A = this chain, B = another copy of it.
Amino acid sequence: MNVMTELEHKGRQAKSAARKLAILSTTVKNQALIQMADRLEAETARLLTANAQDIDNGKQKGLSQSLLDRLLLTEARIAAMAEGLRQIAALPDPVGEGLGMQRRPNGLEIAKVRVPLGVIGIIYEARPNVTVDAAGLCLKAGNAVILRGGSEAIHSNIAIIEIIAAAAYAAGIPEGAIQFIETTDRQAVNALLKLNQYLDVIIPRGGAGLIKTVVENSTVPVIETGTGICHTFVDESADLVMAQSIAFNAKVSRPAVCNSMETLLVHRQIADQFLPDMLHKLSQAGVEVRGCQETMKYASNIVAASEEDWATEYHDLILSIKIVADIEAAIEHIDQYSTRHSEAIVTQNYDHARRFQHAVDAAAVYVNASTRFTDGFEFGFGAEIGISTQKLHARGPMGLPELTSIKYLITGNGQIR
């Protein structure tokens, strides 16, 4: 069977399952999620064995230590995946939620209700926990899912899918609702991106390269996620203790994630008071700084930032710093280089706080807080399938409601137009 035929087969199965899943009761979906969690834990040994194969292969291929760590399953990580499914079971079901009802002058009653999107394609990279997360979230929101994981995690992913799909189907989820593309042939991604007949949306989760490939080649609607060139602007009037704490947290607490800071913008008037201490603290934490000419005066170990630096998501303990004349210059820099994910200002000036929030175009715009809070759990959604950096359909952290569409139900007694 060639790749396209296989993909169409999976697509057909998923679409057929999606029809039934769309009208399945919440109780059945929740019980399935709990069964999936229980089976994952019960099969810990099998999962560890499969994962060991991936780790071995990864070492042979010379994967980096950080990639190997993302790939690694442990008993604790398996328990955490199971716990994630139980948490999804405990969340309210978005399907069937009423979003408004009106009676028109002619007596027609028009209700707007949430329905599943249908079939969701998810293309992701190394971490096997995404397989569980994505399957669980799609299922709870009534969607069938076609998953395409990275080749590094193939043995782990296949084992996970076999366990959770069997548990789900045994608990009453329609067969075919959870599909996984087992071939690591890269053609499969291209085929998936053209599967308009069966897919309602594709969500890529991974690095900028993956996202770009998907956006440029998909004829299926895409939700872009996750690239974050996030800035923090320390305004003239900032509380400098607060500014240091926020900037340090935004860069250092977890540099590999998309909501961490890549560029620090500093108002020229407070650079003398703010930067020496800030640079010292960053240096102690092992952060490499790349700065504008002015910034370089404040420490001897600062590398000159190139044009490319301002446009780079480092995913690492590297920070670019630029001194700016005022809030307008900060907004302009952000406008030019931001990926519209998360942006922050630290200020005590009321007008500047307002101006920044109005003028900066991003999913999340912060005043006096770390950009690190852009996250489905921190936003109280109880789950997250990714962080959308586009404006269509969903923006910012996506929870269960973002995995749904709507439908108008109209009831009448013979109305004609």
Contacts and interface: CB of A to CB of B under 8 A. Distances in A.
Q: Binding site of A, secondary structure by majority: helix, strand, loop or mixed?
A: mixed
A416 B370 contact: yes
Nearest to A374: B408
Interface string A215-233: 1100101110000000000
B392 A393 contact: yes
A347 B19 CA distance: 23
Given A378-B417, A380-B104, A416-B245, A221 B390 contact: yes
Contacts of A118: 361, 391
A357 interface: yes
B196 A417 contact: no
Interface string A248-270: 11100100000000000000000
A217 to B, nearest CB: 8
Interface residues of A, number: 67
A274 to B, nearest CB: 15
Contact of A414 (B196, B221, B242): B242
Nearest to A243: B414
12 contacts: A23-B359, A104-B378, A104-B379, A117-B392, A221-B222, A245-B414, A246-B414, A369-B411, A369-B416, A370-B416, A374-B408, A395-B405
Interface of A: 19, 22-23, 102, 104, 108, 110, 115, 117-118, 196, 200-201, 215-216, 219, 221-223, 239, 242, 245-246, 248-250, 253, 335, 353, 357-359, 361-370, 372-374, 378-380, 390-393, 395-396, 405-417
